Amino acid sequence: MAKNKRDIDRQLKQDEIEEAACRLFLSQGYDATSMASIATSAGVAPNTLYWYFANKDEMLIAVLNRLVKQALTAHAGLLDQPLSAQILWLLKEFDQASKLVMTVHGRLEHSPVIRDWHAQFHQMLDGLLIAQLTAQGMAPEQASVMATVGTYVVEGLLSHPHSMQQRETVVKWLTGTGHRPTVPA
């Protein structure tokens, strides 16, 4: 069934609200951004936000989904690159949202919808890494463990300050393309 004008207008308005929320969350942070400031930025009345989103956490999820979708679309063009280059690119892409990564982790205990989104994000990232690792010949069981480790490394590098050199060293070590120090027996 074709969308009617009302459906199209609704989607346009929701996109405008998400864009406003995205700008404010990225520039001011989640906690410092009020629903009223999002409404003002989007050019709507504050109560209008609740026609589109049940609460601020659901708006955050919409923003996160938007950012992840944009990154995955761009990432599709990098699949022929080494895994280390892909991970470094993803880290750079998500640097802009590192405050939101910390927000998600800070809200896990308080928000079931954020907790569900976070679990789904991990599954998605694990799936991407498993596909890359098995395509390179790694056994699925080992790829699953490495993907979990890789996901935690990516989150850690986004959540804690590191120099670009430290980041590259960690990613190259993780992907087996960097120097691995020997541990005395």
Q: Say if CB 166 and CB 113 are below 8 A apart.
A: no
- Full-model pTM: 0.84
Amino acid letter for position 125? L
Higher pLDDT, 8 or 42: 42
Q: How would DSSP label each residue in 23-61?
A: HHHHHH-TTT--HHHHHHHHTS-GGGHHHH-SSHHHHHH
Q: What is the pLDDT of residue 78?
A: 87
Q: What are the chain's domains?
A: 1-53 (1.10.10.60), 55-174 (1.10.357.10)
Question: What pLDDT score was predicted for residue 184?
Answer: 57
What is the arithmetic mean of pLDDT over 128-149?
90
User: How many C-beta neighbours within 10 Å does residue 71 have?
Assistant: 16
pLDDT of residue 3: 47
